[in-house]
Amino acid sequence: MQHHDMSKSATEFAIALAQLNPTVGDVEGNAAKVRAARAKAAADGADVVLLPELFICGYPPEDLVLKPAFQSACRMAVETLARETADGGPAVLVGTPWVEDGKLYNACALLDGGRVAAIRYKVNLPNYGVFDEKRLFARGPAPGPVSIRGVRIGVPVCEDIWLEESEDYENVVECLAETGAEILVVPNGSPYARDKTDLRLSIAVARVTESHLPLIYLNQVCGQDELVFDGASFALNADLSVAAQSPDFVEDVTTLRWTRGEGGWRCNGPIVPVLEGDKADYAACVLGLRDYVRKNRFPGVLLGISGGIDSALCAAIAVDALGVENVRGVMMPYRFTAQVSLEDAAKLAGNLGIRYEVLPIADAVEGFEKILSGPFAGLPRDITEENLQARARGTLLMAISNKTGAMVVTTGNKSEMSVGYATLYGDMNGGFNPIKDIYKTEVFRLSTLRNSWKPDGALGPDGEVIPVNIITRPPTAELRENQTDQDSLPPYDVLDGILERLVEREQPLAAIVEAGYDRAVVARVDHLLNIAEYKRRQAAPGVKVTIRNFGRDRRYPIVNRFRDAGTPLPEPDETLVTRGSRASVEAFEG
C-alpha cells in the first residue's frame, strides 16, 4: 500500500465510495469485500474508503445481531481489518455492530494507522418494517466529526439525515456542522422503492441547505430476503450541484477527488444516469431473485409455465437473474388447457432457451378425484374439483424441487394475491416470488418493456422473449381457487386503481367511491382483500418494490371483524372531550 503525503490534505482529499453487495451473516466474506475495495482505493490514490451501513454483518441483520457469537465475529473482523491499515494505505470507514459498556450500537468504525481510530454511533434509530432498530440497538450520543488526513469528516448514519422533527430526534447534521465537520459522508442501507431516488435527493438537499456542507450518500446494492437495495449512491456539493452519481443495481467502487477552495470542498465526479419507473422495478425484481437464489445456494430454479403472462414474466426475470442454464420450465396441462396456451408456453421456452418439459396432470387429478369419491359422494361438483388442478401442479413442482434442489419460483401477481385469487399450493407456495409486489397492469407493462430492453448485467437473450400473443391475449378463464380471474373481477386497471388506494394509501371506501369507482365494485374488492389475509401470510416471500406492500410492512390481523361501511367518516365531537391544561398535565405526570 502507498504511504500518503500528509501535505496534500490541505487542498485535496480523495474518498472511495464502495457501493457493494454484502451477505447477511457472511462476516468473513464481507470483510474480504472491504479488503478488495481498499486495494482498489489504494490504487486510485484514495485517502479513505467508505462502506455502507453495518457492512461487516450485512444489512438488515434483524435479531441475528443479538447473538453474542455473531457480535464477537464482527468485532474480530473489524480488528483484523484495523491491523491491516498499519501499511499506510487508505483509511477505512465501515459499518459494524459494536458493543460498548454492555450496550449494542449500530456503529461506523474508522480504521487507520493500524488502529480503530474512532467509532461513531447511529443516533436516530428507525422503527418500521424490518427496520425495528429501537429494539436491537442503543441510541448513540450526538457525534462530532472524525479526523482523516487532517480533514474533519461528519458521519451521520442513514436515518440520522432523515429528519423527523420530534422530541426524541437528535439533529445530527446540525451537531456535526457546529463541531467543525467539513464534509458529510452518510453510510446507508436504504431499500429500493419506486421513485425513491427523488426522495433521497430531496432529503440530502435539505441537509446540505441547512449545513452548507457537501454530502456523500453511499448505499449498498443487494437483495436481502424481500428487500432490494439499489445502490444509486451520489454526492452533492455545498451549492447543491450534483458532484457525482453512481450507477444503480450494480456494485461499484469509485474514487471522488475533492478540492478545497474558498467555498470549502468541491468535487466534479462521474455522473451515471440511473433507471426510473418500470425499468427500475424490473431491475429490482432481477436483483432480488438473483441474490435470494445465490445467497441461499440453490443450484437453480424451476417454475410452472402456463402460457399466461405472469409465468412468462417470471421466466424472463429468472433467466435475466440466473442465466438460461439455471432455469427450468414445466408445462402441466389438463383437459381444460387451451391449445393456444400450450403453443405460447413452448414458444416462450424456445425464445428464452430454457430447459422445458410438458407433464400432463390428468392421471394425478383423476387419482385425487377417485380417492375423494367416498367423502364427496352425493355432493355437487364445484370449485373444489377445479382447485385439484392447481394442487396437483404444486405437488409436482415441489417434487422436482426436492429431487433436484432447484427452488420453485412462484408467479402470483400483487393484484390477484391481494384478492385471494391465487392457489396456496399452486401459484403461491415455493421458494420466492419476483412479482409478488407487481400489480397486474404493471405485469403487462413490464412484459412489453422486456421485449425491447433489458437491464445492464441481465443474463437473458436480447430481443423479443415474451411472445406478443401472451401479452395481447385476454386473460384466460382457466379456474383457480374461488375464481375465474376477470370473469368475477373488474378489469385490471379498475381493480389495481382500487387496490392501490386500499393497500398503499389506506383510503376509506367513501373516498374511493368519490374518486369515481363503482360503490359495489369497491365494496367487493375490499371484502376480498379482507378475507385473503390468511393466504398472504402463507405465501412465499418476494421482491418488494413499493414502500408499503404485503411484506412485513402491512400488518393486519387474520381474525378481524372490522369492515369499513363505505359511508363518509363523521367528524369527531370535540365538545365531549375535557382536556387538561398543559400545567396540570405536567404536574400530574410528575
Q: How far is CA 220 from CA 52, 55, 158, 214, in A?
A: 6, 8, 11, 20
260, 285 contact by CB (below 8 A): no
State the catalytic residues. 53, 122, 158
SS3 46: coil
Tell me the Ramachandran region of residue 42: left when phi exceeds 0, alpha when psi lies from -120 to 50, beta otherwise.
Answer: alpha
The residues pairing with 79 across neighbouring beta strands, listed in sequence order, are none
> Grid coordinates representing 578?
375535557
Tell me the Ramachandran region of residue 62: left when phi exceeds 0, alpha when psi lies from -120 to 50, beta otherwise.
Answer: left
> Grid coordinates representing 182?
467539513
> Grid coordinates representing 457?
448485467
DSSP 245-300: E--BSS-EEEEEEEEEETTEEEE---B-----HHHHHHHHHHHHHHHHHHHTT-S-
> Grid coordinates representing 546?
413499493
CA dihedral of residues 54, 56, 62, 67 (deg, nearest 10): -130
Quickly count: other Cβ atoms within 10 Å of residue 315's Cβ.
Answer: 29
Distance CA 422, CA 385 (A): 15
Tell me the Ramachandran region of residue 88: left when phi exceeds 0, alpha when psi lies from -120 to 50, beta otherwise.
Answer: left
Contacts of 393 (CB under 8 A, 6+ apart): 304, 332, 361, 426
